[in-house]
Amino acid sequence: MTPEDRKRSYRRDMLLASVMVVAGGAMFGISGAQLLTVRHQQMAQATQPLQSTPGAETKPSAPAEPSTTGTRPGAVPPEPARPDADAQKAGVTPALPPAPAEKTAAPIKER
C-alpha cells in the first residue's frame, strides 16, 4: 500500500469511528429523554385499592391478646419419651415393607 492509500484508509476509518460515536451519543440522549418523560407520566394501578369489609366498623380490628404467660404449667410433671410396655414387647416395626425379590441384589462375594 502506498502512503497515500494508507492516509486515505486512516481518514475513512476515523470518519466511520466518529460517526459511530456520534450515533451512540444520540441514542443515549434520546433514551435518557424518554426516561425523563416516562418518570413524569402517571402510572396505572395494577390492583384495585383495598376496601374494607361491610360492617367492619362494629367488629374489633385485632384479636384479643392471649392470656398465657408463656411458662410451662407446673401441675403436669414432664414425662420421659418412652414407649409403653406393649410397644416395647412388639419391637420396632419397619417403616417400609421388605423389597420384592426382583429388587434385591445378589450378596457381595468376598475376595
**Single pTM value for the model:** 0.35
How many residues are listed for the chain in this entry? 111
C-alpha cell of residue 63: 384479636
- The CA–CA distances, whole Å, from 32 to 9, 27, 37, 44 equal 35, 8, 9, 22
**Residue 1: band (very low, low, confident or very high) from pLDDT cuts 50, 70, 90:** confident
Is it the case that residue 21 has pLDDT exceeding 80?
yes
